Amino acid sequence: MSASTPRHSDLIYELEEKPPFSQTLMGAVTHLLAIFVPMVTPALIVGGALGLAPETTAYLVSMAMIASGVGTWLQVHRYGPIGSGLLSIQSVNFSFVTVMIALGSAMGKEGLGEDQILSTLLGVSFVGGFLVMGSSFVLPYLRRVITPTVSGVVVLMIGLSLIKVGIVDFGGGFAAIERGTFGHLENLGLGLLVLCVIIAFNCSRNPLLRMSGIAIGLLVGYAVALMLGKVDFSPLQNLPLVTVPVPFKYGFTFDLYAFLLAGTIYLLSVLEAVGDITATAMVSHQPIQGPDYQKRLCGGVLADGLVSVIASALGSLPLTTFAQNNGVIQMTGVASRHVGKVIALILVLLGLFPLVGRFFTTIPAPVMGGAMTIMFSMIAIAGGRIIISHGFSRRESLIVATSLGLGLGVSYDPNLFRVLPDGIYMLVENPICVGGITAIIMNLVLPASRRARARQQSGTVTDEADLPLSSVSNDRTTP
């Protein structure tokens, strides 16, 4: 269908439509701009914290891109039971950064060398991926647990948590905080410039301009930052021309204690993946209930686990479905999974040529922050839409309010539950985990009326107590 064809949705290209090559390429670049820095940053953070050699860190970054490309290809193609069949982009899971640094630092203090540390971390990640794969087969039996309300809370918490990342970059990033330049006029000006350009282009009725809004905003911001001397090209120095993947390059070691900690984070990533895939289905105008949704959910989580296994074997940190791209879909109006195929190919090529990929890391933090702030906010809005899509009863309002309150409370002060044992604390310091677990527990504990359960099964509203709050009429004679 042509981009100019009238439609009753806000999508320019829907899931199965194939945009012209030029627009496909533009859509792919827009998604890459949204995920590239977050994709390579975890490896850079872990490499710096553990004192890894520059060539080792560069290898981890390259493998992250290649693994992300392979994973994205599996997700969008949907081979049999593997993949969501949506525009689901795979990227490095930020949730593992803290645990990898903690485990690696502890091993370093015990006198283990670089190869031994990476051998253990990647070995544990390799086995942990099978946990996620196994969990995909029990998801159909968890329909009473993972309801639209629970999924919506998780997506909402993902968006709200990411907004903090966007705002920090908007003000100049963590480097600016250390230098004391956070929130300076130059940083705020760059962030606002990018934000305004994106908004202006997304208000356009021209589909191509709307699709290009994020990319153009980033390019304009980058050009201005370059003129202001705020672009650092040092990351481009001393990089190999080509990086060749070597399976288990650092060996394979398994440690039970490290596995228990990493395994817990893997199980948390399943909850995040469910939220991300639900949000992608929502913004792609696909059902978020029923058999087709369940197949997409199981296939997406299965692909998540399989890709983490592949990534760990290649030498990358574990991967997951990225939430950022849901914001890109909403902003550009492009939900075509065929764009994901181009994204996958570009990621693999960039992984083979690290100089090209590392160029994206030179984008200044305020420029990225201006784009991320609006994209992450759109993710939060998608979560809200999921919550209210099947009615917002008084019971659901209690679940959402409690989950949101505790989740945001932890984001404001992660030390809230510091009194708990370390293994549990690593979970409850994550606002997404706290919000999601609270929603699951309350969904199981708070009783639902028979009519509410009937409504969930049939998709209809049968009881005023379970009506959306905005739909309750004062006319008691209304049936």
State residue 224's pLDDT score. 95
State residue 208's pLDDT score. 67
State residue 457's pLDDT score. 53
Distance CA 31, CA 25 (A): 10
> By three-state DSSP, how is residue 320 classified?
strand
- Beta bridge mates, 7: none
Residue 412 CB neighbour total at 10 angstroms: 10
State residue 450's pLDDT score. 58
Q: What is the 3-state secondary structure (H, E, C) of 78-104?
A: CECCECCCCCCCEEECCHHHHHHHHHH
The number of residues making up the chain comes to: 479
State residue 35's pLDDT score. 75
The two tokens of residue 252 are: 């394979």
Task: Say which residues have a Cβ less than 8 Å from residue 81's Cβ, sequence separation at least 6.
Answer: 295, 298, 299, 302
Mean residue pLDDT across the chain: 81
The pLDDT of residue 197 is above 90: yes
Q: Where does the pLDDT of residue 6 fall: very low under 50, low under 70, confident under 90, or very high at 90 and above? A: very low
Domain boundaries, the chain: 21-391
Q: In this predicted model, what pLDDT tens digit does every residue of 126-149 receive, in sequence order?
A: 999 998 899 888 887 776 777 778
Q: In this predicted model, what pLDDT tens digit does every residue of 354-397 receive, in sequence order?
A: 787 677 778 888 998 898 888 788 878 878 887 887 677 888 89
State residue 173's pLDDT score. 84
- pTM for the model: 0.71
The pLDDT of residue 267 is above 70: yes
